Amino acid sequence: MAGRFPDAARARCLPLLLAACLLTIALCGEAPFAGTIYYYEDANGVLHFTDLPDSKSYRPVTSAKASARISRDGILSLVERYSNSYGVDPHLAQAVLEVESDYRPNAVSDKGAQGLMQIMPETQKDLGLQRPFDPEANIAAGVCYLDQLLQRFPEVEFALAAYNAGPGTVDAYDGIPPYPETQRYVRKVLDLYAAYKSEK
Active site residues: 100
CB 79 within 8 A of CB 34: no
* Buried residues in 5-27 as b, exposed as e (16+ CB within 10 A): eeeeeeeeeeeebbeebbeebee
Asked if residues 115 and 130 have their Cβ atoms less than 8 Å apart, the reply is: no
**Cα distance between residue 177 and residue 181, in whole Å:** 10
d(Cα 175, Cα 91) in Å, to the nearest integer?
23
* Pairing outcome for strands 59-62 and 47-50: unpaired
Give the HSE-up count for residue 198: Cα atoms under 13 Å, Cβ half-sphere: 6
Q: How far apart are CA 93 and CA 83, in angstroms?
A: 7
Residues contacting residue 200 through CB under 8 Å, at least 6 positions apart: none
The pair phi, psi for residue 57, each rounded to 5°, is -75, -20
